[in-house]
Amino acid sequence: MPDVKTVAVVGAGAGGLTAVKCCLDEGLRPTCFERSSELGGIWYYTANPLQEGRVCVASTTTSNISKELVAFSDFPMPKEYSNFMHHR
């Protein structure tokens, strides 16, 4: 059996989570590094981002891309969700 390649993924936002899934699909062994304790990158809202050393969306942020286009293949958006979703 060939050696499994180990890769690092920096950040657990939308891009990092997608990269982890692609690595797993390709038979790689990813390790994801995220500096905060939460997943979601800039889409994880916090009231005091600068105090936590991060950036995030505003409390009123709503996506201008439909839920069908941003859904993860393994986690489709529920039908009852708004087409253009709030950051929550």
Return the number of other C-beta atoms located less than 10 Å from residue 14's C-beta: 15
In a domain, 87, yes or no: no
In a domain, 18, yes or no: yes
In a domain, 86, yes or no: no
Domain count for the chain: 1
pLDDT tier, 87 (very low <50, low <70, confident <90, very high otherwise): confident
Instruction: Give, in order, the Cα–Cα distances in Å from 34 to each of 39, 46, 62, 67.
Output: 8, 16, 24, 25
**Owning domain of residue 44:** 6-70
pLDDT in tens, 3-50: 899 999 999 998 999 999 999 999 999 999 998 888 888 888 888 888
The model carries a pTM of 0.77
Query: What's the pLDDT at 29?
Result: 97
In a domain, 1, yes or no: no
What's the average model confidence in pLDDT over 43-71?
86
